[in-house]
Structures are given as C-alpha cells and as structure tokens.
Structure 1
Amino acid sequence: MNSKRLFRRAAGLAAALLALGALTFAGRNDFGLGRNTEILINLMRELSLNYVDEVSPDRLMQQAAAGMTRTLDPYTEFMPEEQMSDFELLTTGKYGGVGSLIRKKGDYVIFAQPYKGSPADRAGIRIGDRIVRIDGQEARGMTIEQVSALLKGSPGTKVKLTVERLLGGEQQELTLRRERIAIPSVPYYGYVADGIGYIQHSDFTEGSYDELRAALEALQREGELRGLILDYRSNGGGILQEAVKIVSLFVPKGTEVVSTRGRAKDAGHTFRTESAPVAPNLPLAVLVNGNTASSAEIVAGALQDLDRAVLIGQKTFGKGLVQSTRPLGYNTMVKMTTAKYYMPSGRCIQAIDYSAHEGRGGAKQVPDSLVHAFTTRAGRTVYDGGGITPDLRTEPQYVSRFAMTLYALGFIEDFVDDYMREHAADTIDNRTFSITDADYDRFVAFMQDKEVPYESDTRRVLKSLKTAAGNDRYTELEEEIARLESQLKDDKLTNLATYRGEITDAINSDVVLRHSYVEGVVEHGLTDDREVAEAVRLLDDPAQLARMLSPEVAQPDTEQEAAKDTVQAEEE
C-alpha cells in the first residue's frame, strides 16, 4: 500500500472522528475540537506527502494518538489493530495457541511453562524442551516474538513442531492442534488448616466469578468449611462486573458493592449484587498488599466496608479509576478512564491525582490534608485518598535485588534444567520439598563462571559519595571512604552466601513448578507464609475475629488519622 493510500485511510479515520465529534458536541460551542482536528489532519497530510523521507501515515496517527493520551493517566491509551489480540488476552484471559510460556535460551526459544491440560502439556512437552523447527522453519535465531506468532493461531488449526527434549536430548516430531487457551484466574485452592480454606485469585478476566465460585463450592463439598482466606495479593484487577459478582457470594442479594461517577451521563451507575449468596455467614480473611489494585480493591474494600471480612497485609495500590473502551474504526480502540468508583461507605481510594497535568505540576499523590474519614456499616472508621488500609497490618517481605537478578538472567532455570536431568525419576512433596546443602553447593559452583551485573545499593551510594567528595575537594574523606569500600562485601560469592535462603526458595519453586505446575508452587509457598498463618490464627478465634470487626478495635492508618486530626484542629 503506497503512502497516498495509507494517508487516505488515516485521513478517513480522522474525518470520521471529526464527524463523530461534531455529532457528540452538537449544541455546544466547541470550536476548539473542530479546529484542532483539522490542524491534525493538515499536519499529517503535509508530513506524509512532503517530508524528505517517506513516512507511514499509520505510524503518524499512532504517535499522535499516543501523544494525546500520554499526559492524561497511565490507563488511557490508543490501541492500534496489531495490539487487539493482546487486549483480548488481557480482558478475557484467553487466546488461540498451544498453551505455554516460552523464553529465549542461547540461540533457541524453549518452553518455559506449559499450562496444565493444554495441547503442549498433553503432548508431553516439559519445561526446558527446545523448539528446533516450526512448520518446517528452522527456529534457531528466532526471537520470542517470532516464535510466539507462529505458535498462536485460530483454534482448531494445527502446528508441526520439532522439539529437542531436555531430558534425554532426543528430537521428536509433534503435531499440536491449537485450542482456545484460558489462563486460570484461580490457580489454586485447598485447605490450609482444619476447617480453614484458601483460594488464590490472580486476576479479574471473564469467568473469574465462575472459577472462584467453583473453588468455594468444592471446598464446601470436601469438608466442614469454618473459615475462608481469599488471597488478593498482587492481583492487578480487571473487569469490574466480575468483582461485583464475587462479592455476591458472601453478602445478601441487593447489597450495594460499588458505584461509579464520571463526567458523561452514562458513567454513573450503582452496582448491587443480583443473586443469593453461597456463603452468607462464612468467616472471611482477605490478604492484600501494595500490588492489590482495581477490581481486587473493589472486592477487598467492599467486604471491609460491609464488615464482612478482616483485611490482612499492607495498604493496597489505590486505583479508584474505571476504564471503558470506545471503537475508533479500522479495528482500533481507545481505552480511557471514564469514571471513578466509590465503595459502599462512599469513599474513593484513588491514590494519585492525575488532574494536575503537565504544566500544572504533574500528577501527584492525594495530600493527607484532603483525606476524609468514612464509616463502615458497623461504624468502623475507614479513609479515602490512598488505597485500602488493612484491619491487621503486616510488614511486607522483600526479595533481594541480587536474587531477582539471578532469576531474571535465567541462571536459576538453567541450574534447575541440570538438576532435573539428574533427578528425572524423583517424586516430591510440594509442601516440604527443598534442595539439599550439597545441591546448593553445586549451584555455587555452577555460578563460578557466570557474570552477574549486580551492584549493591551501599556500593552505589559510596561511589556517589566518593565522586561528590572529590568534586567538593573534601580530600580528608577519601581515606574514610576507601576504608568503607574495603569493608564492604558484596561480591558474587559473598552474595551467594548472604542471600542463600532466598535463592534456595527460588530454586525450590522452580523444581516444584516442573513437577506440579503453578498450583504446586502456590501450595509450596503456603508452608511458611506468615500472612496466611496470621489469617488461620484469626479465623480459628471467632471471638477475636468479631472484635476486629467492631469499631472499638479498628486500626486506622496513623498518617491518615494524623491528617484528620490536623483538619479538625484547623476547622475548630
């Protein structure tokens, strides 16, 4: 397609948008909209036809759209045609393919995690198997993106693979039929103590409610369910309606869960539960952290506002914005923020004010002076303006950058490849498995010739101090800085000893993954999960649980409480 045809297509899209804008703003004196749209079309025409080098009008349009949305908020974006498949995966959790994560290793792409029950899994593909050929094409040198594009396709179509097995090294010819792959929203559920169930919920794609309800009903069938832990840690959210339906499992029909308010008339809506609850009186504990966001915050916040659950963990992310999609023609869309959502108590937990655009100071945190107090149904105090504060706060557990670096560079997985070759016939207990001291010593030996681009925060600070002292002519500090540098032990070998526990955990998890998929990894992690243990303790003590849900023992956030006191003092 030549540049003139491309321009006509882009200009046609812009003209359609202009016409739509004229209809939408009929009756309003919005001269600026028409003027600026015409300027945009004229600019695109001039660049497309007269710029010294040939340019793509499609690319110009995408860049212009990206520029329009960049200063609004991180959730408003233009989605061109080539991104629509990714958007479908994000909202539905489904795609057409063979069902496996992949990663690059050397010159080849390998299978990194076949999903349980997927075409790849049923074909016997395991983590570490190398992709040698795809439909007759040599895969050596292909990127992850290239391999992914060849593996994906319409459900029912076939793809022929030549795979080199990690265990044994032989090559096999396989023909896989692509299917509609659904990534589970509930990767694991089970009992973590006598009568105490646990459900990990990882996202809010289509069907999340059905999965969570099925897990809850399975726990009810398996034993006497006296309490339930819902794990929303690091759940980034998704579809709002799925959150409303999930809350309906635990509260009476007709209960308000969340309301939305926006500038457009159709942005305002109150969402209530529409079905009778499955577990109306089941004691609940909800686990949250700083990466609990969006629809996950709706579930957690609604259950807190309705005094239906005790929240345990750290303050949540604070995303109180609602996104909607609008078609723009030619299989493109804009995803934009159209409303804010409000909990049953009336609070909005949005933490960042994006209305302060560039030129007016930029986006900023909602200041403590603008934080307001609200009350739950039972009269407990809760606050807006900065995420959800748990009823029982715990300290977050961090993983060192050194351990994360080893994992990101693939060293953990490469070592486990070798480990699995030696232990191919082993069976393991997911909850108790751990490598031995001798195994870890072999990992240290494995790392001897590996380059790890890691520098501790302490060493970076010392280097900055040394540079600053030199620039400021503080020569008397050089000897002291040199002494501190000599005492600092952050070399690779020392770090392998310092962070041994974290690295061992990462190796253990990767071994368990290869035996028992993601659910095995979750089960393995539950054995020493402090927040799960705290939830079990609380659910085992009905009297303490009742006290936690009473106004007398509510634990307000200290910073927000101080801000509230300041505001009250100023008003007095």
Structure 2
Amino acid sequence: MGRKIRYGLVVLLAAGLAAVFAGAERSEDSDFRLGRNMEILMNLFRDVNLFYVDSVSPDRLLEDAAAGMTGKLDPYTEYIPEEEMDDFEIMTTGKYGGIGSLIRKKGDWVVIAQPYKGFPADRAGLKIGDKIVEIEGQDARGFDPARVSALLKGDPGTTVRLKVERFATGKVEPVSIRRERIVISGVPYHGFVADSIGYIQHSDFTEDCSTDLRRALAELRSSGRLKGLILDLRGNGGGILQEAVKILSLFVPKGTEVVSMRGKFEQLDATFKTEGEPVDTELPIVVLTDRGSASAAEIVSGALQDLDRAVLLGQRTFGKGLVQSTRPLGYNSYLKVTTAKYYIPTGRCIQAIDYAHRNEDGSVGYVPDSLIREFRTRAGRKVYDGGGIMPDVRTEPRYVSRFAMILYGKGYIEDFVDGYVKRHPEPVDVERFALSDADYADFTEFMKDKDVEFRSESKLALAQLREKAKQERYLDRIGPQLDEIEKGLRDDKESNLKLYRKELSQIIEDEIILRSHYAQGVTRHKLLSDEEVKQAVELLGDTARYRDILSSQDTARK
C-alpha cells in the first residue's frame, strides 16, 4: 500500500488542514515565539550532534526530542519513525504479509505459540511448541522473537524456508511456507450461547472489522432462530472511528447521528450519521463492557445506550474520548496527534483523564465529581459524562491473581501443558473438558521444585501499614492485631496453589484446548462458565426487565 496512510481519520483530516492553519488568526507574539523556538531547537540539535564528547545518533536525538515534545501532552500523541510504520499498519489495519502465527521465546529458541486457524503456518502443519531452529539457512539459536518475526514477515507470494524441531516427535524437519496477506479478523468468534441467543465477540476496530461483524450477524440470522444478541466488547481497545459508525449502522435507522468530533479548528469538526440501511433495528441487544473497552468500543456502546438501542452489562469503560489523526512529516515518518474529542448522541464526552490541566508535580487526574454533567438518552434516562460509559447493569470485575500471572509469565503453566499434551495427545472435548483432581495434583507436584517469588497485594499493604504505624508510634498499640492478620495471609507456594486452584485450573484448561482447537475453541470453552454471558442470556430472556431498563432506568453517576 506504499505510504498512503488510510488509518482512522487521516484521510478526513489531512485534506484542507493547511488551509485551516493559513486561515487561522494568529497573534504576532505567537508567530514570533513559534519561529524563535523552532530556530533554537534546530540549533540545539545541530550543536549536540557536532560537539557532544561522544558520538551520538541523529536518529536517536530526533526520537528523544520527539518523545520529550509529545510526552506531556497525552499517551496517544507520538512520533512514528519510518522503521515503525509497518507495526503501525498492522495495529491499525490488522493486515500484514507473513505466515499467520504467534511466536514466543523458550530458552535459547523461539517456538510457535499459536498458529492462526487456516493460515499458512497452520496449513504447513506447524503446531504449538514447534521450535524454529533455522530460518533461511541461519541458525536461529539465541534469536529474539522480534528478529524471528521480522524474518517470517515479507511480501505475500514469497516463500520462507525453515527448519523446525517438532514438539511431538523431537525430529528436525524442513518446512517451506508461502507468505500471504494475513488479515486478522475483528470478530474472532461468533455462535449461539443459548437456543435463541447469539453471541459475537468483537476484539478491535481494525480496517473492515464492520464487514466481519455484518457477516457474523448474517450467519446468526440465517439460522432463523435468533431472538437476542450479545455483543462482547470486553477488552476491545478501539481503533478506527469510521468502523464504529458502520457497526452502528447495522442496528439503528439510516441517517441517525451517532458521534461527532470537535477540536481546535471548527473547519475540522465533523458529525457522523449512519449511511447504510440497517440489518435489524428491533433485535434485543446486550453489550458487554469492562475497563478494557475503550475508544471506538465506547462509541459503539455509548451510542447504543444513548439511543436506548441496547442494554450495557459489565463494568464502566476506560474513558478515552480523544480522536487521533496521522500527519506526514517527510521521509516516511508520521505524527499521530490528538486533534479532537468525540461526543456521542446525548452530547456527552466520556474522556476520563484531564490531560489539559496537570497538577503541580506534572501528574494528571480524573475529571472531578463536581464537573460531571447529567445528560438524557432518547427515552429520557439519566446518563453522565466525565469518566467512561457506565453500564446499565453493573457486575463485579473479574481479577486474575498476581500469583497466577507470575506462574504464567515464568512459563510454568505452558511447561506443564507441554507434558500433559505429550501424555494425552488426543484432542479434548471443548464442551466437556475439565481438569480433574488428579490432573491438578500432578500440576501441584510439578510445581514443587519451581521458584516462585510472590508477595500478595494484601501482604504488601500490611507491610506498608506496619511501617506507617511505626513512624506514627502506633505500632505498640496495634502490633498484636497486625501479627494476627499476617498469620492469615499465607504467601507460601503450597497455600497459594490451593487458594487459586480455580483460576489456575481454568488457565491450564485453556492452554490444553488451544493445542487442538485453536483460539476459537478456547472462547467456546470459556463461554460455558462466563457469569456475565449467563446474566446477559437471562436478561434477554426477560423481555419485561429488558424493556424497563431501556425505558426508565437511569445509570449510576459513578
């Protein structure tokens, strides 16, 4: 695609931007300061490069200067050098030239972590755990994942030659894989979770993800039994705004205003209305959200809430109400810059963090309660701005313990699963598989000689409380109580393996299922025990409650 960037709002904003600046009224003082500072910056760059005692990289100087210039604006404004544009394209479009597999480091080697179903790596027979020992004649020992990834990627139609040590047999075999244009779907899974309740998992707002969702919805409808839909936006970090508008076009009447954006220049303000004919404007919908639902995911969920078109269930969303566009800087480098804030149909902006007003120490804070404003949905329900989208039905967030994260991060769970799969090579039943007591006992035995450095958050907090009590001379008075509390906070490995058995078992089950049923199988398995999905199914089955929420229930303020 060369360097014709088509991401997000770039095409929309770039045209006419020069005219905006040319027509903008600028004071002479502002013009003078801009010119003065640009000259100082260029002189600074030149003199550091020429006179600094050691050799410096001009590229590194530029990247450091850009980081300093953008670092105190917001986390989303950044300089993108030419060498990072391929990664930016993948992140934004979900497309790249390669073999279609995740990889990870294990010891001195890089191994296959997850081949995408139906893509070149999968069709070539690569499996999880297969070790890449050679790439194009190069010994791959000691290569890091970034280097291997760069060698595996390439122009579609070209071939990459590997030698792979098979996980199952230990034999080293040559493998030639023809690269393809890898398109990562924004809808990794869809299906029915009850007799008449459909489910669509939507993971990101990359290019053409709306087409994926339209296709999934059509497939569910074609069964003739779809009476309710669960749209899962949990963990969806957002992406292209126009894709959000296209997705909303599936569920609300043509011509409905769903989002607008406003920034420094009125000439760049825009209002977005649905353009296509909807697929279904009556189908009951429950949208699942959590703290990982951000940006375009908040546009979709927030607009459906404002229009009383869907019930939101889960946790408050992240609160990213900022719009970025991409500006060319020359030499195939770009600036991704925040240019506006977006507003959903009620007129509320859900931006949670106020980057424009920093504290004296440079830190930023959330929008204070005193500035949170009330808005009304189409049916007159109260909703609020200033901190993400508050769901209509709130649930408690699901946390993964630090202990489980440490075991997973150290590779202990994957190592155990490697052994399990070698002992049980036959595929498991996705619907019925569960780790048995004997299997978990094997895992506990496996962990006996493993090093696990762990202190729970509770114990860390207790240590801080003890130190504060000592400083403030309360320790003599409350020390015995703190000692009793500490006795109950056992952080030894054996106790934690018992305490966190349920979540560790679930993680192990997912890893075992992944080996033979891909990511789609893992999702199917998780849905069987997903409490929020169960609540959504119950809500869609209770027509009176569903309608009552959409007609009269206000959301919580905070």
TM-score (norm 2): 0.93
2:88 alignment partner in structure 1: 87
Shift of 1:348: 0.8
Matched, 1:318 2:319: yes
Distance in 1 between the 2:532 and 2:188 partners? 19
Task: Provide the residue aligned with 1:430 in structure 2.
Answer: 430
Shift of 1:80: 1.0
List gaps (5 residues or longer) in structure 1.
Answer: 1-18, 560-572
2:53 corresponds in structure 1 to 52
User: What is the distance in 1 between the residues matched to 2:62 and 2:508?
Assistant: 46
Residue of structure 1 in register with 2:554 after alignment? 555
Matched with 2:97 is 96
- Tell me which amino acid in the other structure corresponds to 1:194: D
Aligned partner letter, 2:554:
Q
- For 1:314-393, list aligned pairs within 5 A: 314-357=315-358, 359=360, 362-393=363-394
Structure 1 Cα separation of the partners of residues 58 and 191 of structure 2: 54
User: Taking structure 1 as reference, are residues 456 and 97 closer, same or farther at Cα in structure 2, changes over 3 Å only?
Assistant: same
Matched residue of 1:110: which SS? Answer: strand
Residue 273 to residue 492, structure 1, CA distance change in 2 (3 Å): same
Instruction: Label 1:225 to 1:465 Cα distance change in 2 as closer, same or farther (>3 A).
Output: closer
1:439 equivalenced with 2:439 (yes/no): yes
Q: Distance in 1 between matches of 2:524 and 2:403?
A: 25
Q: Aligned residue for 1:170?
A: 171
Which letter maps to 2:556?
Answer: D
Secondary structure at the aligned position of 2:96 is classed as strand
Cα 1:85–1:358, aligned 2, differ >3 Å: closer, same or farther?
Answer: farther
Are 1:161 and 2:185 counterparts?
Answer: no
How far does the alpha carbon of each residue in 1:441-461 deviate from its partner, in whole angstroms, 9 at most, with x for none? 111111111111211123223
Contact in 2 for aligned 1:219/1:225 (Cα 8 Å) = yes
Q: 1:454 maps to what in 2?
A: 454
Deviation at 1:378, TM superposition (A): 1.1
- Offset of 1:428 from its aligned partner? 2.3
Q: Is the 8 A contact 2:314 2:395 kept in 1?
A: yes
* Change over 3 Å in CA distance of 1:157–1:341 after alignment to 2: same
SS of aligned partner of 2:237: coil
Distance across 1 between alignment mates of 2:47 and 2:98: 42
Aligned partner of residue 193 in structure 1, secondary structure: coil
Q: 1:471 Cα deviation (Å)? A: 5.5
The aligned residue for residue 14 of structure 2 is none
* Deviation by residue 1:476-506 (Cα, 9 ceiling, x = unmatched): 4666655554453210011001100000000
Is residue 400–residue 503 contact of structure 2 (8 Å, CA) maintained in 1? yes
Change over 3 Å in CA distance of 1:39–1:294 after alignment to 2: same
Instruction: Give me the whole-angstrom Cα distance separating, in 2, the residues matched to 1:323 and 1:284.
Output: 29
Cα drift, residue 169 of structure 1: 1.1
Q: Does the CA contact (< 8 Å) of 1:236 and 1:292 recur in 2?
A: yes
Give a deviation string over 1:257-313, Cα, whole Å, max 9, x none. Answer: 100000123431000010110112111111111111100000001111111101111
- CA distance in 1: counterparts of 2:533 and 2:255, whole angstroms: 31
Q: 1:271 is paired with a residue of what secondary structure?
A: strand
Counterpart of 2:494 in 1: which secondary structure?
A: helix
Structure 1 contact 431–525 (Cα < 8 Å) conserved: no
Q: Who is 1:264 aligned against?
A: 265
For residues 338-392 of structure 1, give each alpha carbon's deviation from its aligned partner in whole angstroms, at most 9, with x where no partner exists: 0011111111111111101465864221111111111111111111111111111
* Distance in 1 between residues matched to 2:187 and 2:320, nearest whole Å: 22
Aligned to 2:12: none
Say if 1:223 and 1:452 are closer, same or farther in 2 by CA, change over 3 A: farther
Q: Shift of the alpha carbon at 1:72? A: 0.4
- Determine the C-alpha separation between the residues in 2 that align with 1:304 and 1:437: 44
Indicate the SS of the match to 1:132.
Answer: strand
Query: Is residue 112 of structure 2 the alignment partner of residue 107 of structure 1?
Result: no
Partner of 1:141: 142
* C-alpha contact (below 8 Å) 2:466/2:475 kept by paired residues: no
Q: Percent identity?
A: 58
Structure 2 Cα separation of the partners of residues 281 and 449 of structure 1: 58
**Whole-Å separation in 2 of the counterparts to 1:153 and 1:513:** 27
Displacement of 1:475 in angstroms is 6.9
Q: Answer yes or no: is 1:502 the counterpart of 2:503.
A: yes
Cα pair 2:76 2:336 within 8 Å, conserved: yes
- Name the counterpart of 2:65: 64
Instruction: Please state whether the residue corresponding to 2:415 is helix, strand or coil.
Output: helix
**What do the CA deviations read for 1:47-66 (whole angstroms, capped 9, x no partner)?**
11111111111211111111
CA distance in structure 2 between the partners assigned to 1:227 and 1:82 by the alignment: 46
- The answer for the alignment partner of 2:283 in structure 1 is 282
Segments of 5+ residues of structure 2 without an aligned counterpart are 1-17
Say which is worse superposed, 20-29 or 188-197, in terms of deviation.
20-29
Shift of 1:463: 3.2
Q: CA shift at 1:549, angstroms?
A: 0.7
Say whether the 8 Å CA contact 1:22–1:34 is kept in structure 2.
Answer: no
Query: What CA distance in whole angstroms lies between the structure 1 residues aligned with 2:255 and 2:263?
Result: 23
Separation in 1 of the partners of 2:268 and 2:92?
Answer: 20
User: How many angstroms apart in 2 are the aligned matches of 1:558 and 1:22?
Assistant: 39
Partner amino acid for 1:164?
A: E
Task: Please name the residue that 1:219 is paired with.
Answer: 220
CA distance change for structure 1 residues 464 and 543 in 2, over 3 Å: closer, same or farther? closer
**CA distance in 1 between partners of 2:134 and 2:55 (Å):** 37
**Cα pair distance change 1:57/1:223, threshold 3 Å:** same
Counterpart residue number, 1:463: 463
Count of residues paired in the alignment: 538
Instruction: Please give the root-mean-square deviation of Cα atoms over the aligned residues, in Å.
Output: 2.0
Contact 2:383 2:557 in 1 (8 A): no
Partner of 1:540: 541
* Greater mean deviation of Cα atoms: 262-271 or 45-54: 262-271
CA contact (8 A) 1:108 1:139 kept: yes
**Distance across 1 between alignment mates of 2:424 and 2:83:** 43
Give the aligned partner of residue 198 of structure 2. Answer: 197
Is contact 1:71–1:357 with CA below 8 Å preserved after alignment?
A: no
| 1:511-550 deviation digits (Å, cap 9, x = unpaired) | 1111111111111111111111111111112222111111
Name the CA distance, whole Å, in 2 between partners of 1:557 and 1:293. Answer: 19
2-side partners of 1:122 and 1:114: how far apart? 9
Provide the residue aligned with 1:240 in structure 2.
241
Distance (Å, rounded) in 2 between the aligned partners of 1:133 and 1:536: 49
The alpha carbon displacement at 1:99 in A equals: 1.0
SS of structure 2 residue aligned to 1:335 = strand
1:468 and 1:546, CA in 2 relative to 1: closer, same or farther beyond 3 A? closer
Q: Deviations along 1:423-471, whole A, 9 cap, x unmatched?
A: 11x2322122112111111111111111112111232234334545556
Letter of the aligned partner of 1:116 in structure 2?
A: K
